[in-house]
């Protein structure tokens, strides 16, 4: 799997890691399929984000995304920060492999959840952290995928064996996350679980 230099930099040297005990908003997004969990904390003054911290449990891409989202959000108004999208995050990181694009969505969603929590508190509502469960990304347990998770090429399903002719890969369903991954790997490229031989 090839990551950009920027992704590697943010993974190895993540910015803004930690918590804000006096946060104005807290948002958490968890994905039960791949196990990634992101929590964002925001401080807001005069409608501008003065501090953003995060805690992330997940793969290198998830950590890099969280770091980038935190950098993109600091100094922005609440409205500007709400406009940060997964596409913008991936673009700032110099791209992400197709099977890791869901991480950029999780990062943006966690930030948005923290901002929604801030808005609820500002409106006088008693609000605990905003928690969002993301079930939406690429869960392909309902049979073989139509497109290859690596190159988006068509997948052929013959006699229970899935393969992509475009990138010449045999695909197998991971027993842990139920996404399709390269059969030649020992571990799932989505969730890292050991593949059964």
> Exposed, middle or buried: residue 132 (CB in 10 Å: 0-12, 13-18, 19+)?
middle
188 flagged as catalytic = no
34 flagged as catalytic = yes
Q: Say how far apart CA 113 and CA 81 lie, in whole Å.
A: 11
Q: Say how far apart CA 45 and CA 135 lie, in whole Å.
A: 33
Catalytic option among 59, 103, 177, 191: 103
> Exposed, middle or buried: residue 136 (CB in 10 Å: 0-12, 13-18, 19+)?
exposed
Catalytic option among 34, 59, 164, 177: 34
Residues involved in catalysis: 34, 103
């Amino acid at each position: 799997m090839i990551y950009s230099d920027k992704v590697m930099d943010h993974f190895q040297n993540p910015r803004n890691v930690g918590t804000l005990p006096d946060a104005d908003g807290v948002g958490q997004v968890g994905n039960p399929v791949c196990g990634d969990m992101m929590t964002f904390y925001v401080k807001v003054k005069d409608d501008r984000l003065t501090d953003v911290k995060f805690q992330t449990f997940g793969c290198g891409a998830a950590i890099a995304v969280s770091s980038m989202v935190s950098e993109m959000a600091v100094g922005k108004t609440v409205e500007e920060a709400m406009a940060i999208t997964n596409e913008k995050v991936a673009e700032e990181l110099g791209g992400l492999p197709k099977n890791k694009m869901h991480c950029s969505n999780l990062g943006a969603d966690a930030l948005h959840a923290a901002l929604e929590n801030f808005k609820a508190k500002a409106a006088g509502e008693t609000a605990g952290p905003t928690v969002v469960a993301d079930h939406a990304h690429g869960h392909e347990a309902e049979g073989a995928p139509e497109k290859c998770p690596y190159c988006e090429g068509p997948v052929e399903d013959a006699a229970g064996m899935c393969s992509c002719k475009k990138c010449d890969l045999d695909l197998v369903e991971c027993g842990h996350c139920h996404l399709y991954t390269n059969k030649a790997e020992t571990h799932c490229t989505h969730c890292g679980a050991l593949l059964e031989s």
